[in-house]
Amino acid sequence: MPPPPPSAPASHHLRLWWRRRGRAGAVGATFAVALLATALLLALSSYASIVFPASSGRRGPALVGLTLVRRASEKGALCLDGSAPGYHLQGGSGSGSRSWLIHLEGGGWCRNLKSCASRQRSMLGSSRYMEGQVEFTGILSDDKSQNPDFYNWNKVKIRYCDGASFSGDVKDELQNGTRFFFRGQRIWEAVMNELVVKGLRNAKQAFLTGCSAGGLATYIHCDSFRALLPKDSRVKCLADGGFFLDVEDISGRRTMHSFYSDIGLRERFSHCNSNMDAGQCFFPREVVKHIVNPVFVLNPAYDAWQVQHALAPEASDPQHSWLDCRLDISKCSPKQLGILQGFRKELHDAISEAKQKRGWGFYINSCFVHCQSLNSLTWHSPTSPRVNNKSIAEAVGDWFFDRREVKEIDCEYPCNPTCHNLVFARPFKI
């Protein structure tokens, strides 16, 4: 299907793109539930970097090549399949030559060896499947009109291939003749060490960002990132679509809690005491309590991934009464909208402690999306979502440079007409 003409409304672009993804998603109908959750999250992360038809005369986004970590095996910094991890680095210029923006890629998690084995055969578990070049859009764009505050910075996209938000550090496991490497923490350290040598150690200002599972990783690594930089440098973090909630689904089960418990990273978190189960430790509500460095929380109140996999997963809806609502928020019944408003309240309650932290910022809009910082349409454009007449890029820039306090909390759906709400063609089948 060819892309719609430039004159088509942005919401139409979104619907057509998701229909294309929906057809591709049907091919994976035989995968396990956990892997399908990963597939959806990857699709949503891919949405974040989709480039919509540009106006005539505007150049396309920059293509940035993949760099593999040197001597990765020697460092034990390996993707799930044992291949070297990688990142994309675009050098800064002019006033941005000593400023760095690091982005941690998202893409779900693997909760067991079966789902991890599937990831080994994809770019989420092996650099052998990663693209040689990727487009830098949204917060990574080098176009000042699309990224006014960070366009000329050194920008890095770190690829995600460990399956546990850049956090695992355990011995490889051998299962049915297949070896698995859970080395996310070592990947983080190896990439940071290379970037330090390439100029990060001399940064006057630095910004750690991440989307989805990468957003969770941003919470996890924010303070250790701060420790890498000169004491007199400005260092902050932004987590996009990474505030996952420990909520009951529509059947009364805590699907996400069970999922995180299966990942099993208790030893990674110093705040995880014997009175807490492993799943609880992984939720941002707990992680943020112990973060010292300033963080900007960017999240939609009606996170599309969480609605489909935490609030109303397919297993919790055998009668398919939530099918239309999960695909298109405008088709939710009044009762379902009431449950979604309760989900929004859960998010507000979960970030209540973080709201009291000095120097933190917030942008919680009422859109049915997931990640928003890597998409030029949602990050900064004439038709970007706005809260109090501020685009996400404007709000983030104001906060990062201390131009004003930013604590933007949107009203309840459907109050915000500037939202680009996702519309799915069909659910991802089990």
* Residues with catalytic roles: 212, 303, 370
Residue 118's nearest CA partner among 216, 30, 186 is 30
Residue that is written with structure tokens 């404007």 in the block: 394
The span from the CA of 195 to the CA of 228, in Å, is 10
Please report which helix (H) or strand (E) contains residue 342, including its range: helix 334-350
Amino acid, res. 357: K
The span from the CA of 62 to the CA of 48, in Å, is 16
| DSSP single-letter state for residue 390 | B
Exposure string for 105-144, b = 16+ CB within 10 A, e = fewer: bbbbbbbeeebbbbbbebbbbbbebbeeebbbbbbbbbbe
Helices (H), 213-350: 213-228, 255-263, 278-281, 284-287, 304-306, 323-327, 334-350
Amino acid, res. 191: V
Please report which helix (H) or strand (E) contains residue 343, including its range: helix 334-350
Asked if residue 29 lies in contact with residue 426, where contact means CB atoms within 8 angstroms, the answer is no
